[in-house]
């Protein structure tokens, strides 16, 4: 019998015909006993890089994972494919945990997932010393970095694996790490000599869009209504209060929207997360407490109602959309208030000057991404050290090029008003002065007497707000941490003196939502692209219905039966027998045996219906 190879394992176990990018090279390197540091985008297939070597090398592969949900998801997916896998976490009974530990020592498991806290206990270290080990995989390895966005102190201890088990190959993987974080990962995990594999960070299936806030909840509703009313998605907000208000707002408008934040009772959080994972067309509204452990591949959109603190967070959060490679959206609403609030929060945060300086640089990059007039994908990839040679034609600035206007005079007026009023007020008051409004506050401070009073009546309140937003974003005006007032800095003076020119983005006009109907039409960019042939939308619905019923009976999320990419491939190929079914992406021997006959019946009924 021919021994299994990486490619044959990929096909028979996971149902895929070919590796992507550097997967095959990473797998071969690990099988040969080499250490690896892997940077690969979310949805790029990181898990296969250690799962296949774990199946082909002698012994048990130990995967260090930070969250229970992430472990459970991957373990269940492996079991669906017939792999001997388990997860050791606090959700297990003591009896179940003891049984799994015994199976490890006896070499009866191919892969075991464990949290770093459990891994470092003396008891588990003893179990490892008695277990035949094939490899260690450190997932979400950016958690080791103090400069990263998900720092987990327990990850700092994982260097002990290199000392205690020097002959066991190790692989550390992450989807988000700038050059600083990469070096820290290598140093702290003792992987400085490991071979590095850096894949493209590009997620070409994701469409990036940023809009200026103008009734953001309504803007969000319009976005979902037009493109994703039939889809699952995630909406991120900064505060718990805003999470609950937004979830209520969407629920009142007929969407299945659920809140998620750390202040909710654990049982409610668990129920809402489970519903999001196991049901279709559920929208989770959450703080950043949600998402790191979510491996749901058919999230069709991620929306931000508040500005993320840095591009690493933004990239990771938006990367939870379209993990199956099918069309998805990253949509964000952003305002001057967001920029001011985050600068205040950063300046008043704990941390030394070095930490604050680095975080300021990260926030500046995030603000620059929002205000850019060129291709957003190029800017995002450039941040991670990657060059995208041409425009992407799949972001808002490419699809609808942004107009700019020469605004040096307006910038000078705005900065002069900051100076004339004492460098202590925010945009609202400054705009009232520029527009010549004799409010109690303006007159109370005597600002109706300053030279900038009324010099801005040729622009609207909204236009001046855009000017100040872009001045804050570009660092031409600074924000006082305690009050949020504006003051001038070294970048302000060249503009005031006419030594530097300023061009502003022209904020696009917001599209109006259509008339609300009592029964919302089902819309989805994905269905529009997949179901192009006559009658195929009915087949899509039939396959999704079968998937949901089968998953419910098995007690697993629907995407573990088949993900959307597999359904799309079934519609494109219309297989008529087992051999043709095996050519469908995501269908291996195990799933052919479990679901093949029923799928063929559904397709046969569809073909008879359209004849």
Domains, the chain: 6-198 (3.40.50.300), 206-334 (3.40.50.300), 404-505 (1.10.10.10), 525-610 (1.10.150.80)
Q: List all residues 6 or more positions away from 24 whose beta carbon is below 8 Å from its beta carbon.
A: 6, 7
pLDDT of 176: 74
**Length of the chain in terms of residues written:** 611
Q: List all residues 6 or more positions away from 16 whose beta carbon is below 8 Å from its beta carbon.
A: 10, 585, 586
Locus of tokens 């989805």? 524
Question: pLDDT tens, 357-381?
Answer: 888 888 889 999 999 999 999 999 9
- Residue 71: which pLDDT band, with cuts at 50, 70 and 90? confident
Whether pTM exceeds 0.85? no
Angstrom CA distances, 171 to 53, 143, 194, 372, stand at 11, 14, 8, 36
Strands of 206-212's sheet, edge to edge?
A: 206-212, 328-334, 299-304, 232-236, 282-286, 256-260
Locus of tokens 């195990």? 590
Between CA 375 and CA 398 the distance in angstroms is 6
Question: pLDDT tens, 205-226?
Answer: 999 999 999 999 999 999 999 9
Between CA 346 and CA 353 the distance in angstroms is 11
Question: pLDDT tens, 375-433?
Answer: 999 999 988 888 888 899 999 999 999 999 999 999 999 999 999 999 999 999 999 99
- Burial code of 164-179, b = ≥16 C-beta within 10 A, e = fewer? ebeebbbbbbbbbbbe
Question: pLDDT tens, 145-186?
Answer: 765 556 777 888 899 999 999 999 999 998 877 778 888 899
Backbone torsions φ then ψ of 518, nearest 5 degrees: -70, -35
pLDDT of 526: 75
| pLDDT at 557 > cutoff 90 | no
Between CA 283 and CA 259 the distance in angstroms is 9
Sign of CA dihedral 436, 440, 444, 445: negative
Given a contact cutoff of 8 angstroms between Cβ atoms, the answer to whether 27 and 33 are in contact is: no
Sign of CA dihedral 442, 443, 444, 450: positive
Question: pLDDT tens, 8-34?
Answer: 999 999 999 999 989 999 999 999 999
- Residue 74: which pLDDT band, with cuts at 50, 70 and 90? confident
| Nearest by Cα to 506 from 606, 406, 608 | 406
pLDDT of 180: 80
Question: pLDDT tens, 441-495?
Answer: 999 999 999 999 999 999 999 999 999 999 998 989 999 887 889 999 999 999 9
pLDDT of 13: 94
Q: What's the farthest any 2 CA atoms get from each other in the chain?
A: 93
pLDDT of 587: 93
Query: Is beta strand 232-236 parallel, antiparallel or unpaired with respect to 206-212?
Result: unpaired
Angstrom CA distances, 500 to 238, 361, 412, 463, 464, stand at 35, 22, 11, 21, 20
Backbone torsions φ then ψ of 412, nearest 5 degrees: -65, -40
| Nearest by Cα to 298 from 526, 48, 21, 81 | 526
- What mean pLDDT value characterizes the chain? 89
- Residue 516: which pLDDT band, with cuts at 50, 70 and 90? very low
8-state DSSP, 263: T
């Amino acid at each position: 019998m021919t021994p299994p190879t990486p490619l044959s394992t990929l096909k028979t176990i996971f149902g895929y015909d070919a590796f992507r990018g550097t997967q095959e090279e990473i797998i071969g390197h690990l099988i040969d006993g080499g250490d690896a540091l892997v940077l690969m985008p979310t949805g790029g297939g990181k898990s296969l890089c250690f799962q296949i070597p774990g199946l082909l090398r002698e012994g048990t592969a130990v995967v260090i994972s930070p969250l229970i949900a992430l472990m459970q998801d991957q373990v269940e997916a492996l079991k669906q494919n017939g792999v001997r896998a388990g997860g050791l976490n606090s959700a297990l009974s003591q009896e179940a945990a003891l049984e799994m530990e015994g199976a490890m020592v006896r070499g009866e498991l191919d892969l075991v997932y464990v949290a770093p806290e459990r891994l470092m206990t003396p008891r588990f270290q003893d179990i490892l010393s008695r277990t035949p080990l094939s490899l260690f995989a450190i997932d979400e390895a950016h958690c080791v970095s103090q400069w990263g966005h998900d720092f987990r102190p327990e990850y700092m201890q994982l260097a002990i694996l290199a000392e205690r088990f020097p002959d066991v190959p190790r692989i550390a993987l992450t989807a988000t790490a700038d050059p600083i974080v990469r070096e820290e990962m290598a140093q702290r995990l003792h992987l400085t000599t490991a071979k590095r594999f850096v894949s493209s960070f590009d997620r070409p299936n994701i469409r990036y869009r940023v809009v200026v806030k103008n009734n953001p909840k309504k803007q969000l509703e319009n976005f979902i209504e037009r493109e994703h009313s039939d889809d699952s998605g995630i909406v991120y907000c900064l505060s718990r209060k805003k999470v609950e208000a937004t979830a209520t707002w969407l629920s009142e408008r007929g969407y299945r929207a659920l809140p998620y934040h750390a202040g909710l009772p654990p049982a409610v959080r668990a129920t809402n997360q489970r519903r999001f994972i196991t049901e279709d067309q559920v929208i989770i509204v959450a703080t950043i407490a949600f998402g790191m452990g979510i491996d749901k591949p058919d999230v069709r959109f991620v929306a931000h109602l508040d500005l993320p603190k840095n591009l690493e967070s933004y990239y990771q959060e938006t990367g939870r959309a379209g993990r199956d490679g099918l069309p998805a959206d990253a949509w964000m609403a952003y305002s001057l208030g967001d920029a001011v609030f985050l600068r205040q929060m950063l300046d008043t945060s704990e941390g030394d000057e070095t930490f604050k300086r680095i975080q300021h640089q990260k926030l500046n990059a995030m603000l620059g991404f929002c205000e850019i007039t060129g291709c957003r994908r190029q800017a995002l990839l450039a941040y991670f050290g990657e060059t995208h040679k041409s425009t992407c034609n799949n972001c808002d600035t490419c699809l609808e090029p942004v107009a700019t206007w020469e605004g040096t005079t307006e910038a000078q007026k705005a900065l002069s008003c900051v100076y004339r009023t004492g460098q202590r007020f925010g945009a609202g008051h400054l705009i009232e002065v520029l527009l010549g409004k004799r409010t109690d506050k303006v007159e109370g401070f005597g600002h109706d007497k300053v030279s900038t009073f009324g010099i801005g009546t040729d622009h609207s309140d909204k236009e001046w707000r855009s000017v100040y937003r872009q001045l804050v974003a570009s660092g031409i005006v600074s924000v006082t941490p305690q009050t949020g007032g504006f003051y001038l800095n070294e970048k302000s003076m060249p503009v005031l003196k006419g030594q530097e020119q300023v061009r502003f983005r022209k904020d696009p006009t917001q599209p109006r939502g259509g008339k609300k109907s009592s029964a919302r039409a089902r819309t989805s960019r994905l269905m529009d692209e997949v179901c192009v042939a006559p009658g195929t939308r009915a087949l899509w619905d039939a396959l999704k219905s079968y998937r949901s019923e089968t998953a419910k009976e098995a007690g697993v999320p629907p995407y573990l039966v088949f993900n959307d990419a597999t359904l799309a491939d079934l519609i494109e190929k219309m297989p008529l027998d087992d051999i043709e079914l095996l050519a469908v992406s995501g269908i291996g021997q195990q799933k052919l045996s479990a679901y093949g006959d029923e799928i063929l019946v559904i397709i046969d009924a569809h073909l008879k219906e359209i004849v």
